[in-house]
Amino acid sequence: MYSRTSGCPYVTVAKRVLGDYSVSYQEVFIDKDPDAKQRVLDWTGFLAVPTIVVSQNGDGLPVQEPAPLPKGMSPRGIDRGDMITEPTMAQLIAWLEKHQFVSDSS
């Protein structure tokens, strides 16, 4: 999960959902890691957090390249395959279910 050290309501929601469902994750702070900051900017067009990706081996990169967004369009809540940015609680749960991190009976 790409995040930042200062408070953000979307990050708070994501951490709550991940914690409630016992989904382990690695947090990468874009305000401390210039490469991570640039990746989020390239992926979303904004410094949008949380940007959550399905990655392998903890490398922080999506398993598959995310579906593109039209230039200037907000990435908020859009399921882009192995990436979702600024999801609501319901959107994040549905995305986690899709990727089999949780089951609908959790």
What digits encode the pLDDT tens for the residues 12-34? 999 999 999 999 999 999 999 99
CA distance 4 to 102: 25
Q: Residue 36: pLDDT above 80?
A: yes
Q: SS3 for 52?
A: strand
Per-residue pLDDT of 51-104, as tens digits, reads 999 998 778 899 999 999 988 899 999 999 999 999 999 999 999 999 999 987
**Max Cα-Cα span within the chain:** 39
Structure tokens at 105: 């009976």
Domain residue spans of the chain: 2-98
Q: Residue 105: pLDDT above 70?
A: no
